Amino acid sequence: MTNLTLNEDETMLVDSARGFLDEASPVEKFRELRDAGKAYNPELWKQMADLGWTGVLVPEDQGGIDMGHAAANLLAQEMGKTLVSSPFISTAVMAATALRQVADNPRAAEALGKIASGDLTYALALDEGVKHAPNNTQMQAERVGNGFSLSGEKTFVVDGGSADRLLVLARTGDDDGALTLFDIPADRDGITRTAQNMIDARDSAQISFEGVEATGEDVVGTVDQAMSVLSPALRAGQAALAAEMTGLSSGAFGMTVSYLQERKQFGVLIGQFQALQHRAAHLWSDIEVATSTIANAGRMMDEDPENATLAVSLAKAKACQTAKLAVMEGVQMHGGIGMTDAFDMGFFMKRARVAQEWLGDYGYHAEQIAKIKGY
């Protein structure tokens, strides 16, 4: 049976992360970034790098701390509680996981070192439609001499507006599985990035590729076999995003309980109303269950990554349900002010809505679970 309790190192990591983020990045900081139109705070990102967080999945040989996916999920969960805006999942989780599959490549090893130091950020340019479906990629990478020419459109590229480099998925053959992953600079000729106005105010872009040149050195792994490198990265990102959503749920829950303990109606604290107590207890229980699925996904990713898909999809599906419940209850129990921009609860609701779609929504992961179970 998988051990879901935190070990000593993980407990210390959570405690230090919470203390740092409460001071350096409370929800008010997210509001400041939103109002200033900024994707994230580079100074905060550098501080996270100094703490070793950006290298949590980077091998020690490349300057990382290599604590594993369970630790990465714990960090993401703590970030979710105060809506920290950063390229952590795109860069420190997904890009790092993809590149470490080919860490024997000198260029990949160099990139991993720069991720760990906080000097390089990535975005994954995967999806082309309204839903997460990397296997349905239609973007073409035509062979030109010893290289490729990339043409097509990518949408909902999270962190795509500010990233230094892009991991781009493109079709390099007629077979369904003939997909190749490219690692290219975000400012290469032929690339046009258009910011998307997301309701959660995080960085997202639509990216157009028009005859973008790519060489054999830009290929991550092997031509026509992108999923051998990309699948572990997607599982890592999905688990970390589920953790962030569960942290978001905890943050919304804490804010709601505090309000129940302060707001009075008819001279009585509304937290004394039994109906609201029952709803708060139900939400707390749901968050605890979601937290367990996150812990299980992290352990599976570390101990048996080839068979972690079920655990990861279960975590993401459950996190979607829990986050939806947490923000709906939070908004409703706050009454009218819960819907106003002046109050922070709305930020949690918007972040949850976008996170539900990124890297596969509830329906996508429920389908993965059904397939694995033979339904």
Question: Does 328 map to a domain?
Answer: yes
The verdict on 315 and 215 lying in the same domain is: no
Mean pLDDT of 99-125: 97
Predicted local confidence at residue 177, as pLDDT: 84
Q: Which of 103, 121, 139 is the last residue of a domain?
A: 121
The pLDDT > 70 percentage for the chain reads 100
Residues 234 and 363 in one domain: yes
CATH number of the domain encompassing residue 65: 1.10.540.10
State the pTM of this model: 0.96
Average of per-residue pLDDT values in the chain: 95
Residue with the larger pLDDT of the pair 168 and 340? 168
70 and 150, same domain (yes or no) = no
What's the CATH code of the domain at 316?
1.20.140.10
pLDDT digits (tens, 9 = 90+) for 270-280: 888 899 999 99
What does the DSSP assignment read for 193-248?
EEE---TT---EEEEEEEEEEE-GGGBSSSTTBTHHHHHHHHHHHHHHHHHHHHHH
Q: What is the pLDDT of residue 1?
A: 59
Q: How many domains does the chain have?
A: 3
Across the range 324-346, mean pLDDT stands at: 89
Cα distance between residue 193 and residue 161, in whole Å? 6
CB 12, CB 51: distance < 8 Å: no
Q: Do the domain assignments include residue 272?
A: yes
Q: Give the per-residue pLDDT at 4.
A: 82
Q: pLDDT-derived band of residue 80, with 50, 70 and 90 as boundaries?
A: very high
One domain for residues 256 and 348: yes
Does residue 345 belong to any structural domain of this protein? yes
Residues 6+ apart with CB under 8 A from 216: 146, 147
On whether residue 1 sits in a domain, the answer given is no
Same domain, 21 and 152: no
H or E element at residue 142:
strand 140-144
Mean pLDDT of 240-248: 98
**Cα dihedral sign, 342-346-351-354:** negative
User: Within this chain, do residues 171 and 208 fall inside the same structural domain, yes or no?
Assistant: yes
What's the chain's Rg over C-alpha atoms?
21
Q: Show which of 71, 94, 121 is a domain's final residue.
A: 121
**112 and 219 fall within a common domain:** no
In terms of domains, do 48 and 146 share one?
no
> Is the pLDDT reported for residue 369 higher than 90?
yes
* Mean per-residue pLDDT, 62-71: 97
Same domain, 280 and 252: yes
Containing structural domain, residue 42: 8-121
pLDDT category of residue 184 using cuts at 50, 70 and 90: very high
Is there a domain that residue 153 lies in?
A: yes
pLDDT at 2 exceeding the cut of 80: no
Helices (H) and strands (E) counted in the chain, each on its own, are: 11, 9
Q: Are 280 and 256 in contact (CB under 8 A)?
A: yes
pLDDT tens digits for range 11-21:
999 999 999 99
Looking at residue 105, its pLDDT comes to 95
Give me the pLDDT at residue 334, please. Answer: 87
Q: Does residue 255 share a domain with residue 129?
A: no
Please indicate, yes or no, if residue 43 is contained in any of the structural domains: yes
Give residue 271's pLDDT. 81
Whether residue 117 sits in one domain with residue 14: yes
- Residue ending a domain, among 225, 252, 286, is 225
For residue 2, tell me if it sits in a domain: no
**Lowest mean pLDDT, pick from 116-120, 200-204, 226-230, 285-289:** 200-204
Identify whether 351 is part of a domain: yes
pLDDT value, residue 60:
96
Q: Are residues 200 and 330 in the same domain?
A: no
Can you tell me the mean pLDDT for 310-314? 98
> Computed from CA positions of residues 121, 66, 26, 317, in that sequence, does the dihedral angle turn out positive or negative?
positive
What average pLDDT does the segment 19-24 reach? 96
Give the pLDDT confidence of 26-57 residue by residue, as tens digits. Answer: 999 999 999 999 989 999 999 999 999 999 99
Read off φ and ψ for residue 54, nearest 5 degrees. Answer: -70, -15
